[in-house]
Amino acid sequence: MDDVNGHEHDEHSPLLSNERSIITPNYEGVESQGTETFISDEPEGYVSHEEERHTVPQIEQTISHAIGESGEVSRHTGPTVTCRVCSATIVIEGKTRQHVVKCIHCNEATPIRAAPSGKKYVRCPCNCLLLCKASSNRIACPRTNCKRVITLGGSAPVGTAVRAPTGTCRVLCAHCQEIFMFNTLNVTVAKCPHCQKISSVGREYARNRAIFFVVCSLLFLIAALGLMIGTWHSAKSATFIYLIWLCVIAIALFFFFRFAYFIKLKTSTVISPL
């Protein structure tokens, strides 16, 4: 009878208290031989170190198996889409309000909703999914190992990807803050395709043009003054000399106005080369 009571007492003995009384694990989860602490008056019915080694993994295995089964059920019962790149199944449960989702197999984006108003999706040959304006004709891939310029309309077939010409850069418009592409090797001002306004790509171009026009304006102004002084008496008898004065002064004013235009011209910022 005493043996039966002893066994019942053993079955109701707490497992955690036995673990603390028998062995002290280190912080890495590995049992250190030097940290084992044995209690001399320990009852014989407590779970031994060998029994503990077999009992705990069974509990952990049961819990992990249950979690795995629940995850497997949710993975098959939730809404899914097919990846547009690798055709793998993507679970979109809890992501239905997003416009795109990322595939865990190929790490590429797949749209699950229509593009926002005024936008459209374009996929680069490198599988990068791009979002651009619906009116855009050319877009550039942002990936550093691609840098393709994709033509969406015009003479080239739709979706044709070509390498950008040398000197092509991404430029941030100084007027509308939109990004467009411009070849900085062209010695000219840039016209934004979004707002149709003119700006200088980099301050150097506008400064050089302003210096050129102000020098020309001063030269023609000096020439006009010299001409007026030299022909002052002759102009009284020859009225056409007044017309020459007006032409020279008009040219000087034209160059001055061009100088003022480039001084006030806004400067767009080069973001990065393609």
Q: Tell the burial category of 206 from Cβ atoms under 10 Å away from its Cβ (0-12, 13-18, 19+).
A: buried
Provide the Cα torsion 151, 83, 64, 93; round to 10°. Answer: 90
In 3D, which of 177, 181, 193, 201 has the Cα closest to residue 266? Answer: 201
Alpha-carbon distance of 39 to 47, in angstroms, equals 13
Q: What are the tokens at 44?
A: 């014989």
The helix/strand/coil state of 169 is strand
- Is 132 known to be catalytic? yes
Residues in CB range of 173: below 8 A, 6 or more apart: 179, 180, 192, 194, 195, 197, 199, 268
Q: Which residue of the set 86, 106, 128, 132 is catalytic?
A: 132
CB 17, CB 43: distance < 8 Å: no
Q: Rounded CA gap, 269 and 199, in Å?
A: 10
C-alpha–C-alpha distance, residues 46 and 268, integer Å:
79
- Residues serving a catalytic function are 132
